[in-house]
Amino acid sequence: MLKELYWNALVPELTVDQIEVSLRFYTTAGFSVRFRRHDPAFAYLELGQAQLMLEQQHERGWNIAPLDRPLGRGINFQIEVPDADAVRAALVAIGATIFGEVKDTWYSVAPDTQKGQREFLVQDPDGYLLRFAQHLGSRGAA
């Protein structure tokens, strides 16, 4: 019996300059390739329940204006991981640009509850900002 694949209801598709460079970055961060296409160059990636798509820029693409670097200005993608420190170390080893160092942050999610996560921010090869976050649990509000 085949296992039913999990598909998110919202999956961002990022336009990238060089898909092989981007794939090296994302697979180093722990993503696996669910499937690929080659014309145009495309990959569907997943890490746990996080999913995203990469498509190499091409003339038939869906970009509404010229792309200026860094790409993705004004947005960051949070990706839950089991070990934020390990992901950071792996990305630093391949020369990734760390935007915000690892820190533990507690966010209010209800009047009397906070959710904690160990997180850091990194830019992918095209400048998209990613926040890798390790769940630390919940606690009462300070």
Q: Tokens in use for 40?
A: 């145009």
What letters, b where the CB count within 10 A reaches 16 and e where it falls short, cover 26-52? beebbbeeeeeeeeebbbbbbbeebbb
- Of the pLDDT bands very low, low, confident and very high (cuts 50, 70, 90), residue 5 is confident
* Residue 1 pLDDT greater than 80, yes or no: no
Higher pLDDT, 60 or 86: 86
The Cα 104–Cα 63 span in angstroms is 36
Please give the mean pLDDT across all residues of the chain.
92
User: What pLDDT shows up at residue 73?
Assistant: 86
User: What pLDDT shows up at residue 12?
Assistant: 95
Domain segments of the chain: what residues? 13-58+75-140
Angle between helices 84-93 and 19-28 (to 10 degrees): 140
- Of the pLDDT bands very low, low, confident and very high (cuts 50, 70, 90), residue 129 is very high
Q: Is 102 exposed, middle or buried (0-12, 13-18, 19+ CB in 10 A)?
A: middle
User: What pLDDT shows up at residue 141?
Assistant: 82
Is residue 18 classed as helix, strand or coil in its secondary structure? coil
At 42-57, the pLDDT tens digits run: 999 999 999 999 999 8
**CATH number of the domain located at residue range(s) 13-58+75-140 in this protein:** 3.10.180.10
* Residue 2 pLDDT greater than 70, yes or no: no
Q: What is the mean pLDDT of residues 31-52?
A: 95
Q: What is the mean pLDDT of residues 82-111?
A: 96
